[in-house]
A and B are shown apart, each in its own frame.
Chain A
């Protein structure tokens, strides 16, 4: 783990400067989530799994900062050199985020409800060099291992960025996504992840509903179990790279199950958000 992080550290440079981005498009991703397309001049590119910091400033000077995972693939035009080391200004300057509205949330309610196309916001990033998947080994050898993605709720956002990056790079690395979500209407990227998408051969998506499931669901509603991981995930013997993202309760449960199934702790990367939930 230490040698891996040393290598990553050499190639992940954080750009500390804030810059002004403009909202150029937005749409509802579900009744409670909204995708934002930001134009960020000079965006240096990013790796799937990284996030951005947003800073909002009120008329009295009060500021609020939050981190949001990036939903878009790195840069379609620079798929062979995905990563923050991409030459500045060489790639597209569009960055997509998907914001889940948190009831009473100071920032998420603004971004989901009030933030309008044409408005500006301060951005810095990309940030984070640990919870990332590199479709092409840019500075190190390509990791050919299969990839297991475990998403709880809006934890699917950075994992979808990985699927999109795989597609953009033409990668054939086998992916399996287990996506735990309360109800069908809470799903994000429903069409994209629901019907086999061109370029997504080898990506298998299983949706696990916790509260209510449609008739064609793979199993009855309920929280993710070891049996789900055994049925729809990868066996530990294949040494998959595991990425787990969601609320703390989901991530704790999922990581514990992976360990019990024999997965190496060093192969399990986690990203948690928010207070305990489901």
Chain B
């Protein structure tokens, strides 16, 4: 525990909810990104999965819509300290998307329209833990929140859930993404408060 801050009492503590250390609850849906919001037309939208051998699998918007759709309701935890409970999404599980992709890779580097990248272990994309989502709270995902489609990996800090997702590169060796090169944690588990390198 840290040193006491004289005269600080804080808000009433949230009851009955699971809040990771250092986080607070918000009802809003704050927006964070490092640059302008890309506007991506679903008519030209494409998602590529590139394996470690260079084999490429591609999905158009229509392809994505034809896959089995799931409706996860999950809690979000942003490294800037807000957490939002019970968000409702619709999209395709990475288990479905990657089912027929042959790979021995252990890592993934996710790329986005606009140039953003983020890395994570492939195991964290599989096993019902990650989705490509296109609908939030019953409506098409707004561009400021990553629409038309973003990655959703709710068990990690939200910067891993790349907005405007464009590609997933499967790799034998880990390679840091945008924020990870700038000092943020390679894994980003909110329950272990892995915000920055060395946490």
Binding site for B on A (CB under 8 A): 1-2, 5-6, 8-9, 12-14, 16, 18, 20, 55-59, 61-67, 106, 110, 114-116, 119-122, 127-131, 248, 252, 255-256, 258-259, 265-266, 268-270, 272, 274-276
Do A128 and B30 have beta carbons less than 8 Å apart? no
B102 an interface residue at 8 Å Cβ cutoff? no
Q: What residues of chain A lie closer than 8 Å to B178, measured between beta carbons? A: 2, 5, 130
Which residues of B sit under 8 angstroms from A127, Cβ to Cβ? 183, 196
Residue of A nearest to B9 (CB): A58
Could you tell me if B181 and A57 are in contact, using CB atoms closer than 8 angstroms? Answer: no
Closest beta carbon of chain B to A245's beta carbon, Å = 12
Hey, which chain B residues are within 8 Å of A13, CB to CB? 183
CB within 8 Å for A256 and B117 given contacts A58-B10, A120-B3, A121-B5: no
Listed stretches B31-39, B48-56, B91-99, B126-134; interface member = B31-39
A110's contact among B4, B8, B26, B30, by CB below 8 Å, is which?
A: B8
How far is it, in angstroms, between the C-alpha of A115 and the C-alpha of B5 when the chains are bound?
Answer: 9
With contacts A57-B3, A248-B30 known, is A63 near B22, CB below 8 A? Answer: yes
Q: Which residues of B contact A255 (CB under 8 A)?
A: 35-37
Determine whether the beta carbon of B24 is less than 8 Å from that of A64: yes
Chain B contact surface mostly: loop
Tell me the complex Cα distance, A119–B8, Å.
Answer: 11
Q: How far is the CA of A12 from the CA of B11 in the complex (A)?
A: 34
Q: Whole-angstrom distance between the alpha carbons of A239 and B13 in the complex?
A: 49
Q: Which residues of A contact B9 (CB under 8 A)?
A: 58-59
B60 part of interface (Cβ distance < 8 Å): no
Is A5's CB under 8 angstroms from B181's CB? yes
Using a Cβ–Cβ cut-off of 8 Å, how many residues does chain B contribute to the interface with A?
A: 43
Q: How far is the CA of A275 from the CA of B82 in the complex (A)?
A: 11
Residues in B lying within 8 Å of A, measured CB to CB: 1-11, 13, 21-22, 24, 26, 28, 30-38, 80-81, 114-115, 117, 144, 176, 178-179, 181-184, 196-199
Residue of A nearest to B116 (CB): A1
Q: Do the beta carbons of A119 and B7 come within 8 Å of each other?
A: yes
Q: Which of A120, A252, A259, A269 meets B5, CB within 8 Å?
A: A120
Partner among A2, A59, A129, A258 whose Cβ is within 8 Å of the Cβ of B4: A59
- A/B interface sample: 10 pairs, CB < 8 A: A12-B182, A20-B3, A110-B7, A116-B6, A129-B182, A248-B144, A265-B35, A269-B34, A272-B31, A275-B28
Q: Which residues of chain A are within 8 angstroms of B3 by Cβ–Cβ distance?
A: 20, 57, 120, 122
Contact B30 A275 (CB under 8 A): yes
Bound complex: CA A145 to CA B32 (Å):
26
Query: Is the CB–CB distance between A270 and B196 below 8 Å?
Result: no
Q: List, in ascending order, chain B residues with CB within 8 A of A64's CB.
A: 8, 10-11, 24
Smallest CB–CB gap between A254 and chain B, Å? 9
Instruction: Give A131's nearest chain B residue, CB to CB.
Output: B34
With A57-B2, A110-B8 as known contacts, state yes or no: A258 contacts B36, CB within 8 Å. Answer: yes
Question: Are the CB atoms of A9 and B183 closer together than 8 Å?
Answer: yes
State whether B34 touches A270 (Cβ < 8 A): yes
A265 touching B36, Cβ below 8 Å = yes
Please report the C-alpha to C-alpha distance between residue A78 and residue B105 in the assembled complex, in whole angstroms. 46
A61 CB contact (under 8 Å) in B1, B7, B34, B197: B1
CA–CA, A236 and B34, complex, Å? 19
Of all chain B residues, the one with the shortest Cβ separation from A104 is B11
Give 8 A-B pairs besides A2-B117, A119-B5 with Cβ atoms closer than 8 angstroms. A63-B2, A64-B11, A65-B22, A65-B81, A128-B183, A131-B34, A268-B36, A272-B30
- Pairwise interchain contact A114-B7, C-beta atoms closer than 8 A: yes
Among residues of B, the one whose C-beta sits closest to the C-beta of A9 is: B181
Q: Is the CB of B8 within 8 A of A57?
A: yes
Task: Give Cα A274 to B4, complex, Å.
Answer: 26
Pair B114/A265 contact, Cβ less than 8 Å: yes
Q: How far is the CA of A275 from the CA of B144 in the complex (A)?
A: 13
Q: Which residues of A contact B32 (CB under 8 A)?
A: 272
Pair B198/A14 contact, Cβ less than 8 Å? yes
